[in-house]
Amino acid sequence: IGPADEEVMDKRRCACEDVMQKDEVMNPELQPQQFNLGPKWRKTALTWKITKFTRQLNQDKTRREIARALRHWSDVTPLTFREVAGESDITISFEVRTHGDGASNSFDGRGKVLAHAFFPSNGDVHFDDEENWGFGDEVGNTKTDFFTVAVHEFGHTMGLFHSDVQGALMYPYYSGYNASFRLHDDDVKGMQSLYGPPTGRPLTTPYPMTTSRPTTPAPRPRITPAPTPRPTPRPEIPEFCNVQIQAAVRDFDGTLFVFTQGNYVMRITETGFLDRIRTNNLFRRAPWSMDAAYSIPSLGRTYFMRGQRLWEFDRMRNPMGTILVQGGPRTMPERPRAVIATSASGNDVEVFGSGILWRMKMNGEVIVGSHRYISSQYSGVPSMIDAAVRWDSRTVYFFKGNRYYRYDTSRRTVIGEGDFGPAFLKGECGDAPR
């Protein structure tokens, strides 16, 4: 490392690691674009709110600067942003030192690390409250411009990783206040690779096209309409057959637990749907909502995951406490969507995000260098899955919407797929093999 490298390393920067740029973490050949793209939001109308202000900055001006920062991204994409008082997609707060993201993701006081953010669909953005924050031309050489850092962090929240282009906003190091700030071309192209251009405007200006109009209109041919076939009436399908799966796990007796919104769990056996009960009637002190569920048969443990927290239950479904996942945004680039044990007898697990997976130990420690694209490791499995269940030593079921995908771990590919209702619930939902 030379003096120039040391000078860069001493600069103030974003805490989100460059996880997609390191050979030991990701294979660059697997990247679908030239840009460092992460997951994306599944909607374009997003909401935001501030849950904790800093005493250093005027609150109204802080809100205006956040709105202005978000507007730079909405100007180049179809995304829209609206401040709300209730539940929001993006949650913004000023924090100090260890603040619930794990010890390895603690802020370091003034200097160096300025802020960090989670990728979709988590949406948390944290600013280090021990930094000396300011607005615009008042920052001088002693303060950090809040607006500049905010635009950068919101880039992560929309799905951009760090850029290696110096001069780009998404370059990991803080460049200082710029009175004539505008997004770098690399930033715009990266974000438009995720969401496209603003509605009604092309990504790039096309060449003008000229269409010649005939001087005499051609006569319209006479067409005899074909008789309209009468549609065959479809049988009524009960509403509960269209399950919106939040998480799923297979119990130690073979029963499949499918968790749905409203704190409900469906119990499903080999013969089909058994019943639907409140989650807390089965797992006392389980979280009201969850991102994923999984079991470790060798230990007789069942786990629920929400964000960076795990809820642990023994074989008899008694609560055993919670575990905080270590690392935060440094090691979890996406919000978890599904978790499975790495093998039928193993204790490590694989955590699936929107398009990336990574491995985690039983103590909640994410294994460094384990991040991979799902598509490169699980052929035929779609992105943005809703749940996954390890069925046996060779079979993993993935669920997305009302579809299931049967994955063979020996052949390393999907060997079957179909509708969830007929294959698992059966009865009034139909009857199909899986």
Q: Is 89 annotated as a binding residue?
A: yes
259 closest CA partner among 242, 237, 240, 276: 276
Separation of alpha carbons 343 and 352, rounded Å: 15
247 closest CA partner among 305, 320, 323, 314: 305
Q: Is 108 annotated as a binding residue?
A: yes
Q: Is 291 annotated as a binding residue?
A: yes
- What is the C-alpha end-to-end distance of the chain, expressed in Å? 56
Instruction: Give me the half-sphere count of Cα atoms (radius 13 Å) on the Cβ side of residue 97.
Output: 0
Q: Is 371 annotated as a binding residue?
A: no
Q: Is 293 annotated as a binding residue?
A: yes
Q: Is 128 annotated as a binding residue?
A: yes
Q: Is 386 annotated as a binding residue?
A: yes
Residue 239 annotated to the active site: no
Instruction: Give me the half-sphere count of Cα atoms (radius 13 Å) on the Cβ side of residue 427.
Output: 13
Q: Is 99 annotated as a binding residue?
A: yes
Q: Is 101 annotated as a binding residue?
A: yes
Cβ-Cβ contacts under 8 Å for 406 (sequence gap 6 or more):
395, 396, 397, 414, 415, 416, 417, 434
Q: Is 170 annotated as a binding residue?
A: yes
Query: What b/e string do you get for 277-305 counting C-beta neighbours within 10 Å, with b at 16 or more?
Result: eebeeebeebbeebbbbbbbbeeebbbbb
Catalytic-role residue among 17, 153, 350, 417: 153
102 closest CA partner among 86, 85, 124: 124
**Binding-site residue ranges for Zn(2+):** 14, 99, 101, 116, 126, 152, 156, 162, 170
Which residues are marked as active site? 153
**Binding-site residue ranges for Ca(2+):** 89, 108-109, 124, 128-129, 131, 291, 293, 338, 386
**Binding-site residue ranges:** 14, 89, 99, 101, 108-109, 116, 124, 126, 128-129, 131, 152, 156, 162, 170, 291, 293, 338, 386
